[in-house]
Structure 1
């Protein structure tokens, strides 16, 4: 009888322990589930359905990426869907929400004047730490290494370097790009052709040329042109070979300069193509600034970097104002009545002698 009671007690204890264990596991799983759920920031619009899923906005983003190959339009659509200039989405389990600010003047204020409050995000740092851990792109601005590291590359944006090193490479690579496009226009019978990859490659040629002094034999655009000529009208994408970049400073220069340059050129090309009236004014301003080149029907020489063309400056600033991917630009404020217009004249004023003067 005593033995049976002991066995019953042991059996009951086992059941209790198993019950407690299963309950603990259940509570733990529920706790992990709750922790993995998105935690929306109060007062900021978001996708209510995504806020109740562990993966948050990832399924929708992945679906868009799988269908279109890019994610950025999804972010734009997310803002348009909720309409306010400040929205949030959930990019990963256990992670804080990502806030998207689409108000230009507020973004400008944060980037230019509130850097200490809104430093580089962890996600940005993680993107560069693996490739260039000792470049200032992978550092917070208040870090002990940032200031000294940035001093090492400060001269790359100096007028002397831009005029003597960058301008020469940009000029040469631009001529190669023009030759390539001229040939494509002829062989396509005047029909439109994709230009994005050409700009991307040309920008890489420009930045790489300024950094390493690459000649035409390493130019992607020049190779494309030669390949196009050697194969008649048949054109296929040229894949750039791997390059062993020596030193984090050079690599950082390439990483930082290439994407921003190609994006800015792409947006500028789009805006100028969309606004034919302003394009005609720009062409006339360039003819007047370079009368010898216009008369001889040739491309201006590299002195274009030191020639003052106010309307060209206005065009550039207007493209930068409207460019959604631009990260840091210096501008003033404008009337809300015409902010949606492409209007280079907003950057110009009439001088004392009646000529247009760049005013920014």
Structure 2
């Protein structure tokens, strides 16, 4: 009994020492929340609480940088692991992404997040992985001007023409009332990338099904109040199993985004019946489409024949390679499965979110909308003279500075991808601070230096040599108006003419460097087609403030919960008559 107090004291001491050892271990010199460093869960409770209250996630990070008054901070959200380092300075982020690629690579965090739904997709691989180049080579031709003009543009054009027709029907049925555009755009974007990836018959699309439904006897919308400001609510049309599986799997990423163990979290999620059903439907759909393509190409293979979709392009190249190497073609590999699936996921979610924000921004800024519509009219004189919309090829080839500037400003303000993450592959230094190997570094594009004034002034001697040498190659925003929606910030005068300048200032939505967004060109093409067709056919009218929130958001990619449209069909005929 005499030894019991001593043993108890030793036990308590060991527990206390173990507790202290498990507490977050800050990187020396980098600011952090001191309360979080005294909590086993670090910043995670505060971040989770913020997300529950606001519906937002990654906007919390620049708020911490502003709170700590530093362009480099650290946060503790992965218990028992290294802190995350957060950078809110564009020059430093640009340097890391463009010129320090041997020191920083695709983050383990992002890789683990995507491995659940696409374990063999190139987005989850390190650049040094030999399979990364194999995967990129398989799909690299999909971003060439030839494929974008001959295949992607026509497929997207067909889809968004269907959307224009659907919204014209809804606008007439709504009788001047606003209606929700969120699901329509989300589904239209999936139709578009589906048609680019597989040979989709337009009459089998989700939007075409909605059009058929609206033409039926039960198409009248419900009206919440007897007021023109009350939204018209249209019955929801069921989504077929195959496209619904893509929507389900994409949205599953949201629930594991802040998990300390994303691989385990997805494994548990994948056991749920609805996830098993979605995975099975996705696998069956890709297998069926691959068999159809195999039959098309095997019967009459011509290496020069024009591809109708991404899968055709991949199949044609695999057949040509097999012929050169005197081997059997490999059709049903997991590489092909995952890259095709990745096109569907990446090609609809972020683009639809960006376009949705664009609709809100243009609705709330009628003067910019009018200027953009006039620039579009002036940019397609033949279409105006012939009283028709521009063709897909005309839109692809058009160079309209104010259109390019507005799209870039929509991308900047939408913050669809609020930041880029990288993993330090070696012990390195950022802004004078030692960063241990294996540290996750977040390069934020949704706060200071982008849509808000920068935090302080960073001494040049703290920057890397490559960063100092590259100073001045991209402009900086005026902090007075960096928060405003202002397409003119991307316009410069050259020889008395307005020109679009993509280097006017910082934006990180698509990343930079060799690991920047692979589908960037296709995304811009889609946005271009969307806004040309919509503004050619409609005027976006303001909606009540209660239906136009910029704060409440949903889904993984910062998508607004409220996105209502009040559409007035464009008076092109009157404009032409006036001219």
Do the two structures share a fold, i.e. TM-score over 0.5? yes
- Return the structure number with greater strand share: 2
- Alignment-derived partner of residue 195 in structure 2: 209
- Alignment-derived partner of residue 95 in structure 2: 109
Offset at 1:125? 0.9
Offset at 1:101? 2.6
- Alignment-derived partner of residue 403 in structure 2: 312
Answer yes or no: is the 8 Å Cα contact 1:86–1:99 preserved in 2: yes
- Alignment-derived partner of residue 478 in structure 2: 336
Change in CA separation of 1:81 and 1:229 when aligned onto 2, cut-off 3 Å: farther
Change in CA separation of 1:238 and 1:28 when aligned onto 2, cut-off 3 Å: farther
Unaligned runs of 5+ in 1: 1-10
Deviations 1:240-270, CA, capped at 9 Å, x for gaps: 3234243111012223323332233233333
**2:85 aligns to what SS in structure 1?**
strand
Change in CA separation of 1:74 and 1:340 when aligned onto 2, cut-off 3 Å: closer
- Alignment-derived partner of residue 372 in structure 2: 282
- Alignment-derived partner of residue 244 in structure 1: 282
**1:268 aligns to what SS in structure 2?**
helix
Change in CA separation of 1:103 and 1:260 when aligned onto 2, cut-off 3 Å: farther
- Alignment-derived partner of residue 194 in structure 1: 180
Change in CA separation of 1:102 and 1:273 when aligned onto 2, cut-off 3 Å: farther
- After TM superposition, the structure 1 stretch with the greater mean CA deviation from structure 2, 38-47 or 299-308, is 38-47
- After TM superposition, the structure 1 stretch with the greater mean CA deviation from structure 2, 172-181 or 269-278, is 269-278
Offset at 1:217? 4.4
- Alignment-derived partner of residue 138 in structure 2: 152
Answer yes or no: is the 8 Å Cα contact 1:89–1:97 preserved in 2: yes
Offset at 1:166? 1.3
- After TM superposition, the structure 1 stretch with the greater mean CA deviation from structure 2, 336-345 or 100-109, is 336-345
1:46 aligns with 2:188: no
Offset at 1:27? 4.6
Q: C-alpha root-mean-square deviation of aligned residues, in Å?
A: 3.1
- Alignment-derived partner of residue 120 in structure 2: 134
Answer yes or no: is the 8 Å Cα contact 1:119–1:141 preserved in 2: yes
Offset at 1:283? 0.8
Offset at 1:82? 4.0
Structure 1 distance, partners of 2:204, 2:73, is 44
Match of 2:105 among 115, 119, 123: 119
Offset at 1:141? 1.3
Structure 1 distance, partners of 2:361, 2:376, is 18
Offset at 1:286? 1.0
Change in CA separation of 1:147 and 1:85 when aligned onto 2, cut-off 3 Å: same
Answer yes or no: is the 8 Å Cα contact 2:31–2:70 preserved in 1: yes
Structure 2 distance, partners of 1:220, 1:237, is 11
Structure 1 distance, partners of 2:18, 2:236, is 47
- Alignment-derived partner of residue 4 in structure 1: none
Equivalences for residues 1-360 of structure 1 within 5 A: 15=3, 20=7, 25-75=11-61, 77-230=63-216, 231-232=218-219, 233-234=221-222, 235-238=234-237, 240=239, 241=241, 242=245, 243-245=281-283, 246=286, 247-295=337-385, 297-303=387-393, 304-326=395-417, 332-334=474-476, 336=478, 339-352=482-495, 354-360=496-502
Answer yes or no: is the 8 Å Cα contact 1:35–1:94 preserved in 2: no
Structure 1 distance, partners of 2:238, 2:61, is 29
If you compute each CA radius of gyration, which structure gives the higher value, 1 or 2? Answer: 1
Answer yes or no: is the 8 Å Cα contact 2:155–2:196 preserved in 1: yes
Structure 2 distance, partners of 1:181, 1:82, is 47
Offset at 1:339? 4.2
TM-score, normalising length: structure 1: 0.81
Aligned length: 344
- Structure having greater relative contact order (Cα 8 Å, sep ≥ 6): 2
Answer yes or no: is the 8 Å Cα contact 1:116–1:142 preserved in 2: no
Offset at 1:305? 0.8
Structure 1 distance, partners of 2:14, 2:82, is 21
- Return the structure number with greater helix share: 1
Structure 1 distance, partners of 2:414, 2:55, is 21
- Alignment-derived partner of residue 334 in structure 2: none
Deviations 1:271-315, CA, capped at 9 Å, x for gaps: 333433332221111111223433555422212111222221222
Change in CA separation of 1:344 and 1:52 when aligned onto 2, cut-off 3 Å: same
Answer yes or no: is the 8 Å Cα contact 1:38–1:53 preserved in 2: yes
Answer yes or no: is the 8 Å Cα contact 2:43–2:76 preserved in 1: yes
TM-score, normalising length: structure 2: 0.53
Structure 2 distance, partners of 1:50, 1:239, is 45
Unaligned runs of 5+ in 2: 223-233, 246-280, 287-336, 421-444, 446-472, 503-579
- Alignment-derived partner of residue 6 in structure 1: none
